[in-house]
Amino acid sequence: MSIVQAIVLGLVQGLTEFLPISSSGHLILVRDLLGWGFGRAEIEKTFDVALHLGTFLGIAAYFIADIGRLIRGFFVVLFRGSLSADPYGRLALLILAATIPAAVAGKLGEDLVEKRLGIPLLVCGLLVVFGLLMGWADMAGRRQRELANVGWAEAIIIGLAQAIALAPGTSRSGVTMTAGLFLGLKRETAARFSFLISLPAIAGAALLKGAKLASSGIPEGLGGPLAAGTAAAAVSGAFAIYWLLRYLQRHSLRPFVVYRVVAGVVLAIFFLAR
């Protein structure tokens, strides 16, 4: 793996992790289109950890102030024994509740995701199907509720949606935003809650995969590409969050729906023809 390849994949990871178009799906499609197999499974697994670390650093940098408030609020609620003691403490518990379904699904379905759900044609199909579902939610949702209106039921439902996003092509941000819109959240609110619940999910994925690779160490010659890919994912991820939250204040998700459908159909035709 070269540094240029690492930067390209890092940029793809960072942008598509937070834009509602599927990071895992795009990484699979980009690698397949460009023929970047890298030959050794340990290289791809190690680089996958670096990409998750990069996106975590990007989102943590953007929400650093909120993370501090969430941690403080969590302990305030814990010691006072009341959810009303601190609004950020209540939000922290909702984020944890929304993380549980994805954590369970990730643990139980890891082999299924790695071995069965990365087929390019399946990725193309999920891009289209979940893109259309997102478009329906964008049109049908009431888009009136704020983050303070999110309750336990809504958090669990959005968390279940995040579990579905383990399948490449669905998009973690896309499917959780879709669930939020169906529940009546404003576009920006749905996106913000989606990003917040991805914090523990992305961190957990990086730690879990990193722990499995810790004993074997970094493959020889991969240090530079790992650093470059991590930095590219972090910077592009933070930019994607900044841009999308501002975009959704005045615009709909229609361009992302169109992109997903067109990309899915065109790439499916390409793979079938090839």
For residue 214, what pLDDT band results from cuts at 50, 70 and 90?
low
- Report percent pLDDT > 70 for the chain: 89
Higher local confidence (pLDDT), 105 or 65: 65
Whole-model pTM: value is 0.87
| Residue 185, pLDDT above cutoff 90 | yes
- Report percent pLDDT > 90 for the chain: 50
| Residue 103, pLDDT above cutoff 70 | yes
Choose from 125-134, 160-169, 208-217 the range with maximum mean pLDDT.
125-134
CB-side exposure of 126: number of CA atoms within 13 Å? 27
| Residue 244, pLDDT above cutoff 90 | yes
95 close to 70: Cβ distance less than 8 angstroms:
yes
Out of 6-20, 31-45, 71-85, pick the least confident: 31-45
Give, in degrees to the nearest 5, the angle at Cα 172 between 273 and 142.
110
Position 207 scores a pLDDT of 80
Query: Which residues fall within 8 angstroms of residue 119, CB to CB, at 6 or more apart?
Result: none
56 close to 203: Cβ distance less than 8 angstroms:
yes
Enter the tokens of residue 118: 């990365």
Residues 161 and 179: their CA atoms lie apart, in Å, by 7
Higher local confidence (pLDDT), 158 or 42: 158
Residue with tokens 């996003």: 165
Which residue type sits at 153? A
Which of helix, strand or coil describes residue 185?
A: strand
126 close to 22: Cβ distance less than 8 angstroms:
yes
Beta-bridge partner residues of 185:
145
Higher local confidence (pLDDT), 237 or 43: 237
Residues 149 and 90: their CA atoms lie apart, in Å, by 11
Q: In the chain, how many H helices and how many E strands?
A: 12, 0
Position 76 scores a pLDDT of 92
Which of helix, strand or coil describes residue 215?
A: coil
Residues 121 and 169: their CA atoms lie apart, in Å, by 10
| Residue 269, pLDDT above cutoff 80 | yes
For residue 58, what pLDDT band results from cuts at 50, 70 and 90?
very high
* Averaged pLDDT, 32-45: 68
Higher local confidence (pLDDT), 246 or 85: 246
Position 152 scores a pLDDT of 92
| Residue 124, pLDDT above cutoff 70 | yes
* Averaged pLDDT, 209-234: 77
- Indicate the average pLDDT of the chain: 86
Position 153 scores a pLDDT of 92
Position 91 scores a pLDDT of 93
Position 81 scores a pLDDT of 81
| Residue 39, pLDDT above cutoff 60 | no
Position 243 scores a pLDDT of 96
Query: Which residues fall within 8 angstroms of residue 235, CB to CB, at 6 or more apart?
Result: 14, 58
Position 98 scores a pLDDT of 92
